[in-house]
Amino acid sequence: MLIRVEIPIDAPGIDALLRRSFGGEGEARLVHDLREDGLITLGFVATDDEGQVIGYVAFSPVTVEGEELQWVGLAPLAVDEQYRGQGIARQLVYEGLDSLNEFGYAAAVTLGDPAFYSRLGFENAAQHGLHCRWPDTESAFLVHRLADDALHGVRGLVEYSEHFNRL
Ligand SMILES: CC(C)(COP(=O)(O)OP(=O)(O)OC[C@H]1O[C@@H](n2cnc3c(N)ncnc32)[C@H](O)[C@@H]1OP(=O)(O)O)[C@@H](O)C(=O)NCCC(=O)NCCS
């Protein structure tokens, strides 16, 4: 198993993985549309010994109260069913966050299961005065600071690109 940055020839493998993992085409279409519009800030794949894509994470830009603060949204994240429970999602997320940190990004947000993402260092975003546009997401909207002062004086609405509104 190898974890590396996404390259263009990974696109069909990522597409297939997302369709298998989410049981529909929403996330696959999302990644396709983000890629078309140059909105994948960073993507990491996990590949098996034959080079097939078995895991994927993408990060794309978000704004806070309309401002670009070098924040990103993590989505989607998927690992093929037969490879789950081996720490692959953790490695994908950590590699992604490490690189984003090196590139100077300040924070990452995500919407997902708090029990899972809290294990990866995400905190409840509402506690920091941050929310997203979707209703009933107070406990599921999460933030991970990359810069120590990322959350200082930053509050309000975190907006993903419009492609997310079609999920
Ligand atoms: C969620 C998913 C990416 C996890 O992948 P994975 O490679 O099995 O995860 P890891 O093995 O890296 O697990 C990391 C940690 O989270 C825990 N974990 C894994 N799945 C979990 C779940 N569904 N709920 C709570 N904790 C979970 C693991 O026990 C591990 O914690 P530990 O190291 O403290 O034991 C995978 O199940 C998946 O692709 N699901 C379908 C798509 C999906 O729902 N994506 C998430 C969208 S928010």
Shortest-distance atom of ligand 1 to CA 113: 48
Q: Which of 90, 93, 95, 132 to mutate to test the pocket of ligand 1 (most atoms within 8 A of CB)?
A: 90
Give the pLDDT score at 149: 96
Q: What is the pLDDT of residues 120-152, one digit of tens each?
A: 999 999 999 999 999 999 999 999 999 999 999
Q: What is the pLDDT of residues 11-34, one digit of tens each?
A: 999 999 999 999 999 999 999 999
- Is the CB–ligand 1 distance for residue 7 below 6 Å? no
Contact between residue 151 and residue 145 where contact means Cβ atoms under 8 Å apart: yes
Q: What is the pLDDT of residues 72-87, one digit of tens each?
A: 999 999 999 999 999 9
- Is the CB–ligand 1 distance for residue 89 below 6 Å? yes
Residue 109's closest CA among 68, 154, 61?
Answer: 61
- Is the CB–ligand 1 distance for residue 24 below 6 Å? no
Query: Structure tokens of 70?
Result: 């070098």
- Is the CB–ligand 1 distance for residue 118 below 6 Å? no
Residue 167 reports pLDDT greater than 90: no
Give the pLDDT score at 162: 97
54-83 per-residue burial string, b: 16 or more CB within 10 A, e: under 16: bbbbbbbbbebeeeebbbbbbbbbbbbeee
Q: Which of 22, 80, 119 to mutate to test the pocket of ligand 1 (most atoms within 8 A of CB)?
A: 119
Q: What is the pLDDT of residues 29-76, one digit of tens each?
A: 999 999 999 999 999 999 999 999 999 999 999 999 999 999 999 999
Residue 139's closest CA among 120, 158, 115?
Answer: 115
Domains of the chain in sequence order: 2-161 (3.40.630.30)
Residue 166 reports pLDDT greater than 90: no
Shortest-distance atom of ligand 1 to CA 111: 48
Q: Name the pLDDT band for 92 (thresholds 50, 70, 90).
A: very high
Instruction: Say what the pTM is.
Output: 0.97
Q: Does 114 sit behind a cis peptide bond, omega within 30 degrees of 0 on the bond before it? A: no
Shortest-distance atom of ligand 1 to CA 79: 39
Give the pLDDT score at 159: 98
User: H/E/C letters for each residue in the chain?
Assistant: CEEEECCHHHHHHHHHHHHHHHCCCHHHHHHHHHHHCCCCCEEEEEECCCCCEEEEEEEEEEEECCEEEEEEEEEEEEECHHHCCCCHHHHHHHHHHHHHHHCCCCEEEEECCHHHHHHHCCEECHHHCEECCCCCCCCCEEEEECCCCCCCCCCEEEECCHHHHHC
Residue 47's closest CA among 1, 14, 115, 105?
Answer: 1
